[in-house]
C-alpha cells in the first residue's frame, strides 16, 4: 500500500480525470465542438481546486503539475470524442447519462477529501476545512453547469453539496484515527450519499413558485439528462 501522500496525489489525478470526463460529456450532450469540450473539461477538472487554493492563498496545483494536468484533460476529451463518434446515436443518451453521473460522483468525492486534507494540513480548523473541502468538491461542477447552460445542481434540490459536506465532516471527525481511516471514510460517505441520491431520487426540499403565463421553465440538470 502506498504512503498517504502518494495516495492523495493519485486521488488528485483520479479526480482530475473524473471531472474532466464529466465536463467533456456535458459538452457533448449539448453539442459543443472540440474547443467547447476541452474548455468544459478543463474548468470542471481544475475549477474547484483553483478556488480552494486561491482562498488558501496558495498556488493552484495545476500550475505546478501543469503538463500532467493537461495530458489528463486532453486524454479525457479525446476519449469522449472518440466514443461519441463511434457509439450508435440511439444509445448515446443512455451511456452519456451514466458516464456523467459516475464520473461526477467520483470527482466530487476525491476532490472533497483532497481539499479537506490540504486545508487541515495548512492549519485550518475543522469548520473552515470542511468549507474548503466542499468548495474543492463542488466548484468545478458549478462552473461546468453555468457554462453548459444548465441550472446549477446545488441550487435545484440535488443532494450534491450535502454529499460533499457529509464526506468532509466524516474526514475531519475521524482525524484522531489511523491515517487511512479519514480518507476511506470521507470517500465512502461522499460516494454513497451522492450515488444513493442519484439511484433512489433523494432530493433536498426546494421552494417551487408558480410560473407566469408564457414563462419558459428553467432547464435543470435532470431535464438535460
pTM of the model: 0.88
pLDDT at position 213 is 61
* C-alpha–C-alpha distance, residues 221 and 197, integer Å: 14
Range in 77-81, 92-96, 212-216 the model is least confident about: 212-216
Say yes or no to pLDDT of 225 above 50.
no
Res. 148 pLDDT band, cuts 50 70 90 = confident
Residues sharing a CB contact under 8 Å with residue 211, sequence separation 6 or more, in sequence order: 217
Can you tell me the mean pLDDT for 73-82?
A: 93
Say yes or no to pLDDT of 221 above 50.
no
Say yes or no to pLDDT of 163 above 50.
yes
pLDDT at position 111 is 97
Find out whether 44 and 136 touch, Cβ atoms under 8 Å: no
* C-alpha–C-alpha distance, residues 30 and 220, integer Å: 13
Res. 130 pLDDT band, cuts 50 70 90 = very high
Give Cα separations from 107 to 33, 166, 176, 212 (angstroms): 23, 15, 26, 37
Give Cα separations from 45 to 21, 51, 82 (angstroms): 8, 12, 20
pLDDT per position as a tens digit, 167-219:
999 999 999 998 889 999 999 999 999 999 999 999 988 876 666 666 555 55
Inter-axis angle of helices 126-147 and 34-55, nearest 10: 160
The domain segmentation of the chain, as residue ranges, is: 4-200
Amino acid at each position: 500500500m502506498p504512503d498517504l501522500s502518494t495516495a492523495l496525489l493519485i486521488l488528485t489525478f483520479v479526480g482530475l480525470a473524473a471531472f474532466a470526463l464529466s465536463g467533456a460529456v456535458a459538452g457533448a450532450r449539448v453539442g459543443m465542438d472540440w474547443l467547447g469540450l476541452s474548455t468544459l473539461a478543463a474548468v470542471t477538472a481544475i475549477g474547484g481546486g483553483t478556488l480552494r487554493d486561491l482562498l488558501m492563498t496558495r498556488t493552484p496545483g495545476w500550475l505546478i503539475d501543469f503538463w500532467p494536468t493537461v495530458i489528463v484533460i486532453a486524454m479525457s476529451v479525446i476519449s469522449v470524442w472518440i466514443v461519441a463518434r463511434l457509439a450508435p446515436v440511439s444509445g448515446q443518451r443512455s451511456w452519456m447519462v451514466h458516464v456523467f453521473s459516475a464520473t461526477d460522483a467520483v470527482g466530487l468525492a476525491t476532490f472533497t477529501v483532497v481539499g479537506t486534507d490540504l486545508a487541515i494540513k495548512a492549519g485550518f480548523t475543522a469548520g473552515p476545512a470542511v468549507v474548503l473541502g466542499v468548495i474543492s468538491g463542488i466548484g468545478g461542477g458549478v462552473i461546468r453547469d453555468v457554462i453548459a447552460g444548465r441550472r446549477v445542481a446545488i441550487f435545484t434540490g440535488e443532494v450534491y453539496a450535502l454529499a460533499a459536506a457529509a464526506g468532509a465532516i466524516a474526514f475531519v471527525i475521524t482525524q484522531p484515527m489511523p491515517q487511512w481511516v479519514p480518507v476511506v471514510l470521507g470517500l465512502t460517505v461522499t460516494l454513497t450519499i451522492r450515488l444513493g441520491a442519484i439511484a433512489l431520487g433523494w432530493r433536498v426540499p426546494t421552494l417551487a413558485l408558480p410560473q407566469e403565463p408564457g414563462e419558459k421553465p428553467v432547464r435543470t440538470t435532470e431535464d438535460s439528462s
